[in-house]
Structure 1
Amino acid sequence: RKSLGFKTSKCTSLAKRILQMVTRNVVKPQFNVINLANTPVKNQGSSGTCWSYSTNSFLESEMVRMGKQPVELSQVFSARNAYVEKGKNYVRMHGAVTLGDGGELHDVTNMYKKYGAVPQEVYTGLNYGTSKNKFAEMAALTEAMLAAIVKNPNGELTPNWEKAYAAVIDSYLGQVPENFTYKGKSYTPKTFAKEVVGINPDEYVEFASYSNAPYYEKTMMMVPDNWSFDLVYNVKMNDMTTIIDNALKNGYTVAWASDVSEKSFSWKNGVAYVPTKKFDDMNAEEKENMFNGPKQELEITEELRQKAFDNYQTTDDHAMHIVGIAKDQMGKEYYIVKNSWGATNDYKGYLYVSKNFVKYKTTSLMVNKGGVPADIAKKIGA
């Protein structure tokens, strides 16, 4: 050190910086164990339609798994139909239910079953000159409209309010095609879903994990965006990663909904994990180095998971698509997750999520029945 003219303190500081530069690269998961086929990354723009982008991406991967040529499905078609159904539910519930852009994984399969599907090129949802989704104005208008309908100024609802409500949505997103041509053949949304996509929505099951409800039975998904009040299978916390692992190892990808509000979820760095310390308890150096070097994780228990959910520390923020498993140089496994925020982060639209993060922050997941381990399938009767 002396021969280079550095004082010990400066050498130590330099060594730390060099170590940080090295570990910045080596801690990131780089060795794919499983990486299942999926379609290109999309961008949901200024809309709360992650649930539609993630689950349609999931269905596209299902097409690949089934040996079909994948089609980019219209995410906004699923969302548009969900908005119509959500509006009907909102009025029936006298306004005492969630509105807005948000939704759940099952909304896509529910809308697929009722309305069918169309290619993205046929229904882009870009009906007024934008290049990306921008739903805020539409959402404000439809919310105000439904609030007025709920007040029931005529003393009795007219038979036209549903048409008027749908017309506002369609003025922003575009009129839904009754018929369209794809690769030289004419389809309706339902015939396209049956003949081209070929997916049976009844083959998909949704899971959550609550320690305050009976395991291996259906229970209400207790999150605000479950506007349709769908029931999901309640499994133990560790079952969630067991299901995901089994699905991936057998060629099935997984639609995944989670809390992403944690400081340890970094879209830019493309990594999510559970630190042993809360962010507010970290010192400045620990905060700065959250994504530099290998990190120990907090041990997750069912009690800890349930407490975070009950205290609103785990909220239903976002939905993504799990497509594989990777390991870092230390041998630690992460899930490879496809996002819908464009290809703007370090991993071109993907991120690596630790299994502890999935255990702690998952709100729901969806998979084909064929991807569920036999013992769990038997317990839920699927």
Structure 2
Amino acid sequence: MGISQSKPQPEAGAQEKLTEALRALELRSEREIAEKDYVYIDNGPPPTYKLSEHQQTLSVDKISQWEREVLQDDKNLMALNAFAANDTNSILKRRSTVIGDTQIFNVKIPFEGSPVTNQRASGRCWLFASTNVFRVAIMKKYKLEKFELSQAYLFYWDKIEKANYFLENILQTVEDPLDGRLLQTLLASPVGDGGQWDMVANLVEKYGLVPQSLYPDAYNAMNSSLLNRLVTTKLREHALRLRRLASSPSLSSRASLGSVKEKMMQEIHLILTLMLGPPPSPKSAFEWQFYDKDGAYHNIQARPTEFAKELSDARTVKACGGTDVHRLFSLVNDPRNSYNTLLTVNRLGNVWGGRPVTYVNVDNVTIKKAVVETLKRGIPVFFGSDVGKYSDSSKGIMDTALFDYELAFNTKLALSKAERLMTGESAMTHAMVLTGVHLDEKTNEPVRWRVENSWSASAGTDGYFVMSDKWMDEFVYQAVVDPSVVSKEVRDVLKQEPKVLDLWDPMGALA
């Protein structure tokens, strides 16, 4: 009271004129902001714009004008010369970002798996990332210096299961048009190398785990393109035959579907077994002999399923700070969908009748808090991301500030995370493992993250990458964590009826 001075009130007519004048100034200001490169001249209301009135074809004269404008800028001339003889990203790489993204972390799991793995010319990153999580528990239990689980063992069974899953989907969609989006998506990649965490869980539950020394990589596991082409071609052939039989008016033809499908699977089994080698039987005991880090000899005899279950025994869980790796679940950040909701993907999986692929959709803050808490317990974190964006595999850096595209091209890449998903610009393309984080000493907020990759020790710093926190916000979509590191509210999302996304949705991408 008493702060504001009294002001005379304008007359009613003057008030209306003042309002109109202010509104005109506001509109003019907005237009000047939106069209700051143009001179604004107020000649009354703008003409009505019709879509048909715009220039629909490209004018050669206009393009020539644009070119002259580009070449009048000395900066553009220098860029033109540099880009003509060099890799563009190497020129635009910010030196300050490279220097700042250092492999120093104040939170780091005390026991990182060794050796650094190498998926070679295959898309098995999800199997390498998941076994890199599992092996830490086994290495702690048996006091091992170095150890790898057999990725090829899971790879073999995944191919078998995916082939069966595909044929069952074909039988369930015989009424759908062959040229429809669903069938075309199913046919596009029936046995691709990629996968998801829940698909790993299905394989481990049904087939277990074995040490890599008992089933090492064959050539076609490390170089999977020919294997995939052969099996894919055969499955597409099988799909057409099954659809014809299922649609046949003949009762005997339809009755033969089961036996025909079994013969088809036998053919797929033959190709896989010859190219990958017969794997250990999940129902027979293997013998694994090794020395621990103290030099003590051990001889373990167990079925693969029994060996996998050891990850949940009391001794192993205690060694992992109370975490049972079989209970881990997926958090995702998908800003297109409501947070604290359960998501799943239609007809996405590998083991028919197995655990569905599900995600608890949360904000980035929830994901990062859960990951930090998991790392503090000494457990690595499986995560899915779009690894190709703003990354340098030779230096092992993933940072949104790594390349200065705006400086070079005078334009911003302005899509949001949601918009990148909506337009197909981004998706989960690669799975890796988080093993550390650097927290700001004042705010306790993440600054950068330590990433264990599966591209050999020659990539990054001895196989490890640095990921900026901003890159995590923009290009990390998934983190697999212990239920105990999230709130009850988040855990309860698992009880919801999931929202079903289409098979071609970006969340259906397989890392």
Q: TM-score, normalised by structure 1?
A: 0.78
Alignment counterpart, residue 348 of structure 1, candidates 442, 462, 471? 462
Alignment counterpart, residue 28 of structure 1, candidates 91, 96, 101? 101
Q: Which moved more, 1:198-207 or 1:358-367?
A: 198-207
Kindly indicate whether structure 1 or structure 2 has the higher relative contact order, using CA contacts under 8 Å at least 6 residues apart. 1
1:261 aligns with 2:388: yes
Alignment counterpart, residue 268 of structure 2, candidates 165, 171, 176? 165
Describe the shift of the 1:332–1:283 C-alpha distance in structure 2 as closer, same or farther (beyond 3 A).
farther
Distance in 1, Cα, partners of 2:391 & 2:439? 18
1:109 aligns with 2:201: yes
TM-aligned CA deviation for residue 278 of structure 1: 7.3
Distance in 1, Cα, partners of 2:337 & 2:429? 22
**Match of 1:348, SS?**
coil
Alignment counterpart, residue 240 of structure 1, candidates 367, 377, 386? 367
Alignment counterpart, residue 137 of structure 2, candidates 62, 75, 81? 62
Residue equivalent to 1:193: 308
Report percent identity of matched pairs: 20
Within 5 Å, which residues of 2 pair with 1:271-350?
271-275=397-401, 279=405, 281-283=406-408, 304-326=416-438, 333-350=447-464
Alignment counterpart, residue 137 of structure 1, candidates 207, 226, 236? 226
Provide, for residues 7-26 of structure 1, a one-character-per-residue CA deviation record: whole Å limited to 9, x for no partner: xxxxxxxxxxxxx9995774
Amino acid at match of 1:150: A
Describe the shift of the 1:207–1:189 C-alpha distance in structure 2 as closer, same or farther (beyond 3 A).
same
Q: Which moved more, 1:88-97 or 1:340-349?
A: 88-97
TM-aligned CA deviation for residue 359 of structure 1: 1.7
1:121 aligns with 2:213: yes
Amino acid at match of 1:187: A
Provide, for residues 83-121 of structure 1, a one-character-per-residue CA deviation record: whole Å limited to 9, x for no partner: 111111111222642421111122222210111111111
Which 5+ residue runs of structure 1 have no aligned equivalent? 1-19, 287-297
Distance in 1, Cα, partners of 2:365 & 2:439? 19
Q: Is the 8 A contact 2:384 2:477 kept in 1?
A: yes
Distance in 2, Cα, partners of 1:120 & 1:214? 41
Describe the shift of the 1:304–1:66 C-alpha distance in structure 2 as closer, same or farther (beyond 3 A).
farther
Amino acid at match of 1:149: H
**Match of 1:283, SS?**
helix
Describe the shift of the 1:332–1:177 C-alpha distance in structure 2 as closer, same or farther (beyond 3 A).
closer
Residue equivalent to 2:288: 182
Describe the shift of the 1:161–1:201 C-alpha distance in structure 2 as closer, same or farther (beyond 3 A).
farther
Describe the shift of the 1:32–1:146 C-alpha distance in structure 2 as closer, same or farther (beyond 3 A).
same
* Cα RMSD for the two superposed structures: 3.5
Q: What is the number of equivalent residue pairs in this alignment?
A: 343
1:270 aligns with 2:396: yes
**Match of 2:214, SS?**
coil
Q: Is the 8 A contact 1:149 1:161 kept in 2?
A: yes
Q: Which moved more, 1:303-312 or 1:112-121?
A: 303-312
1:50 aligns with 2:50: no
**Match of 1:169, SS?**
helix
TM-aligned CA deviation for residue 312 of structure 1: 1.5
Residue equivalent to 1:6: none
